[in-house]
Amino acid sequence: MMRNRKAALIAAFSLATLSLVVAVAIFKWCSDDGAAKKKSEPCKAVTAAAEAIEALMFPEGKKDGDCAEVVDVKKMNAAQFKEKLASFPGKRVYLWMPGEHLWLLVGRGNTNRVEMAKAMEAFSGETDRGSVVEVFASYVGTREDVMPAFETKLEGNVLPQWFVMKDLPKTDWISFAGIDDDIAKYTRTQMRSMQVIRRLILEGNMQAAASSDENTMEKAVECWTRAAKRNPNDPMLVERLERLSKNAEVFYRLGKFNQALKCYETLVVVRPNDPAAVYNFGICLQRLGREELANKVLSRAKQLSESLGR
């Protein structure tokens, strides 16, 4: 695992040799403890994902009996969330998970299937919603799909993995009428791919939460890296990395450059082509007196920035 991570850094900076002690950012820093105590606004990617879900579910706008609500499950225990889910209005209720704690409940006033053709129209043109298939990274299931999870889990905090089952959720509530067969087949495949990627992210999150040694954290970072290659726009992944970046900024301002370096190093491994992450990694190396490597990293950041026209 350590060799794999070192190889990733070497590839990112195009170095022939690199003597770097690879350290993993312990994601306990990304919890409510330590440097992350500062209250922040919800991740923009999570907010945008919630809006995109509503655009998918209500492509012609909400009608009588339709509703949607973002729920902060961090403020609820299992029994409270179960009650919320059970009492949520709508003939059919769906659970979506844009972020780790901010989830979206959608209730539809009728049982008609959502028309994918209309949803695609809502996502066409110049919008910030991304693609219609990316929305399905957040889909968990109908109320009937997820309620059985409470049979054995009725205490403590509500966790995403309770509801992300081994089997991918059914999407038989979507109609592909009016869409060419090849496009419909491709869309279904991509929707399910997004859900597989989300499970990989959650696996990384669980590894990080249970981390007791560096090897466990290596596995977590490997999961996020694999997921980022397949869907860098997954809002839960973006949220996790944004939180890490904020912690890195706090450490840097406090003069804790070793801790900041570990955070930025992880960001670079997961997103090797992010000029900001690479630049900040280089600055931390510079602060720690590792001038030769810092210069190479900062040169790489400049190349990335220029290639993006920044």
Residue 271's domain is classified under what CATH number?
1.25.40.10
Number of domains in the chain: 2
Inter-residue contact 193 to 203 (CB < 8 Å):
no
**Strands 67-72 and 102-108, bridge-based pairing:** antiparallel
Do 131 and 77 belong together in one domain?
yes
For residue 175, what are the β-bridge partners? 115
Do 124 and 145 belong together in one domain?
yes
Would you say residue 167 has pLDDT above 50?
A: yes
Domain span at 168: 44-203
Asked if residue 138 is part of any domain, the answer here is: yes
Asked if residue 210 is part of any domain, the answer here is: no
Asked if residue 208 is part of any domain, the answer here is: no
Would you say residue 157 has pLDDT above 70?
A: yes
pLDDT digits (tens, 9 = 90+) for 130-155: 789 999 999 999 999 999 888 876 67
- C-alpha triplet 67, 169, 148: angle, nearest 5°: 80
> What would you measure as the largest C-alpha separation in the chain, in angstroms?
64
pLDDT attached to residue 153: 66
Do 90 and 113 belong together in one domain?
yes
Over residues 35-48, mean pLDDT? 69
pLDDT attached to residue 2: 41
Do 19 and 95 belong together in one domain?
no
Task: Tell me whether residue 240 is exposed, middle or buried, using C-beta atoms within 10 angstroms of its C-beta: 0 to 12, 13 to 18, 19 or more.
Answer: buried
Asked if residue 212 is part of any domain, the answer here is: no
Do 142 and 94 belong together in one domain?
yes
Do 166 and 247 belong together in one domain?
no
Q: Which residue has the tokens 């900040």?
A: 280
Asked if residue 49 is part of any domain, the answer here is: yes
Q: Helix (H, G, I), strand (E, B), or coil: what is residue 29?
A: helix
Asked if residue 215 is part of any domain, the answer here is: no
Do 81 and 195 belong together in one domain?
yes
Do 29 and 81 belong together in one domain?
no
Asked if residue 145 is part of any domain, the answer here is: yes
Which of these, 126, 114, 122, 123, lies nearest to 90 by C-alpha position? 114
CA distances from 71 to 5, 21, 25, 81, 246 (A): 36, 41, 29, 9, 23
Over residues 267-275, mean pLDDT? 92
- Give all strands (DSSP E) within 143-191, no chain letters: 174-175
Percent of the chain at pLDDT > 90 equals: 64
Q: Characterize 265-297 residue by residue with b for buried, 16 or more Cβ atoms within 10 angstroms of its Cβ, and e for exposed.
A: bbbbbbbbebbebbbbbbbbbbeeebeebbebb
Residue that finishes a domain, picked among 185, 203, 221: 203
Show Cβ contacts of residue 5 under 8 Å, excluding neighbours closer than 6 positions.
Answer: 22, 24, 218, 221, 222, 269
Distance (Å, whole) CA 180 – CA 191:
16
Distance (Å, whole) CA 8 – CA 265:
11
- 151 CB neighbour count, 10 Å cutoff: 7
Which helix (H) or strand (E) covers residue 277, if one does?
Answer: helix 275-287
pLDDT attached to residue 1: 46
Asked if residue 213 is part of any domain, the answer here is: no
> For residue 307, what pLDDT band results from cuts at 50, 70 and 90?
confident
Residue 260 CA to its chain's centroid (Å): 21
Mean pLDDT of the chain: 84
Range of weakest confidence among 9-18, 138-147, 277-286: 9-18
Over residues 203-210, mean pLDDT? 88
> For residue 20, what pLDDT band results from cuts at 50, 70 and 90?
very low
Which of these, 213, 215, 244, lies nearest to 228 by C-alpha position? 244
Would you say residue 31 has pLDDT above 70?
A: no
Over residues 220-245, mean pLDDT? 93
Taking 3-state DSSP, the helix, strand and coil percentages for the chain, each rounded to the nearest 5, stand at 60, 10, 35
Residue that finishes a domain, picked among 203, 221, 256: 203
In the chain, count H helices and then E strands.
11, 6
Do 51 and 132 belong together in one domain?
yes
Do 193 and 245 belong together in one domain?
no
Do 71 and 183 belong together in one domain?
yes
Do 85 and 145 belong together in one domain?
yes
- 39 CB neighbour count, 10 Å cutoff: 6
Residue that finishes a domain, picked among 180, 203, 226: 203
